Structure 1
Amino acid sequence: MTTPFPTTRPARADARRNYDLLVTAAREAFAEHGTDTSLEEIARRAGVGIGTLYRRFPNRTALLEAVYVDEIQIVCRTAYGFADELGPFDALAAWLRSFVGYTVSKKSLAGELTVALGKDSEFFSVCKANVREAGELLLDAAKADGSVRQELELMDILRLVGGITMGRDMDPDQAHRLLDIVLAGLKP
C-alpha cells in the first residue's frame, strides 16, 4: 500500500501494546453494544486505565478513527493475501465477499465517523484510496486473464457492493446471495 493511512500505531512497544489492546476492546465493544459504548468500559475491557485511553485517544472520534483504519487495513491486507493465494477471479470474488461481511457489520461505525468528520474528509479520502488500490490490483489481474469484463471499473463494482449492504436490516446471508448475482454479472 503506497498511501499512508491517517492513523498509525505507536512505535514504542508498550504504547503499541496498549494501542492494540484499546483498539481490539473498542472493536469488540462497538460490535456488541454499538459505538456509544462508554470509553470507561472500553478501557476496562482493554485492562488499562482511563488515563491511558485518553493519552492515546483524546476523544471518542479518535478511537473510532483508529478502529475504522484498523478494519480498512485488514480489508486491504486481505486483498493482497487473496492475490497471492487464489486465481484472479477467485481472489476478486473472495475479497468482495470479505468486503460485504465487513460493510454489513460496520455501518454504525462509518456512520458516526461520517457525521463527525464529513463524508468528503481527508480521513475518508485516504481510506478510500487504500481500498481502491487493493481492489484495482485484483480487478486488473482478473481483467488481464479474461475472467471479468474489460469495461468494468472498480468504483462501479464497489458501489454495487455498497448498495447491497445499505439495507437497514440486511441479513448477511441475503447480502452474500445478492453478491453472487453481482459476481455472475462481472464475467464476460
Structure 2
Amino acid sequence: MSEETPSGAAKFDDRPMRADARRNRDKLIETAAACFAEKGVETSLEDIARRAGVGIGTLYRHFPTRENLVEAVYRREVEFLEAAADDLLARCPPEEALAQWLQLMVGYAATKRGMADSLRILFDARTGIFAEQPSRVARTLERLVSAAARAGRIRQDVEAPDVLQALSSLYSAPATPDWEARSRKVVALIMDGLRWGAPEKN
C-alpha cells in the first residue's frame, strides 16, 4: 500500500471519539514518537501501525497524511513536557525539578530531530503549530528556571532563553550512535553551569 493518503481518506472532524478509537489514536501517536526518534520521520507508516497493534487503515483514518501524524506527535511531546514540569515541581526541590526536566529535553530533541523534514513542511505551510508550541516550551522552562533561582539553587543572572540557546546544540550535533549519551552529558554540564555561583539559600 502506498504511504500517501489513500483516496477518500477520512478528514479530521470534531465529533466525539469512541473510547477504543481514542486509545488507538493515542497508541499511534506514542508509537510514532518512538519510531521518529529511533529512525527518523521516513519510518514506514505500515511499521508504525504494526508496532501500535492496529491496521494501516486505522492509522489513515486518524492521520490522513504523514504531516498530520507529525503534528500530533509534536503537540504530544510539548504537552508531556508541560505536565512533567508540573509533576516535578510538586515532588522535587526546584533545582532537581529543573535538572530532571532538562534530561527529558533529550528525548524531546531526539523526536524533533527525527521529524525535522516534516516539521519544515508544516512551517512552510504556515500552520499554527509554530506559533504556539515553541512558546509553550519556553514558558515551561521559564517556570522551572525562576523557581530554582528564587530558591537560590542556581545562579541569578541566567534566564530561560539562555538555557534554550545552550540546548540548541542537541539539535545540531551529528546523529552518531552515542548521540543520546553525549546529549545527556551536555545537559548535565549545562546544569552544573547553572548551579555555579548560586547563593545556595536554605
TM-score by length of 2: 0.77
Shift of 1:91: 1.0
How far does the alpha carbon of each residue in 1:112-159 deviate from its partner, in whole angstroms, 9 at most, with x for none? 233211277520231112212221221111111112222321011011
Structure 2 counterparts to residues 38-57 of structure 1, below 5 A = 38-57=44-63
1:5 corresponding residue in structure 2: none
- Aligned 1:18-97 pairs, distance under 5 A: 18-97=24-103
Higher Cα radius of gyration: 2
Q: Percent same amino acid among aligned pairs?
A: 38
Give the SS at the match of 1:149.
coil
Residue 32 of structure 1 deviates from its aligned partner by 4.0
Which runs of 5 or more residues in structure 1 are unaligned? 1-7
- Displacement of 1:182 in angstroms is 1.9
What's the C-alpha RMSD, in Å, of the aligned pairs?
Answer: 2.4
| Residues 20-40 of structure 1: CA deviation (Å, up to 9, x unaligned) | 122133233334433212223
The 3-state SS of whatever aligns with 1:168 is: coil
1:117 is matched with which residue?
A: 122
The 2-side partners of 1:173 and 1:32 are apart by 14
Provide closer, same or farther for how the CA distance between residues 178 and 51 of structure 1 changes in structure 2, counting only shifts above 3 A. Answer: closer
Q: What's 1:155 paired with?
A: 161
Contact kept? 2:37, 2:113, Cα under 8 Å: no
Give the deviation of 1:177 after TM superposition.
2.3
CA distance in 1, matches of 2:37, 2:149: 36
Amino acid at match of 1:115: R
Alpha-carbon distance change, 183 to 127 in structure 1, aligned in 2, over 3 angstroms: same
Distance 1:80 1:45 in 2: 30
Matched positions, count: 179
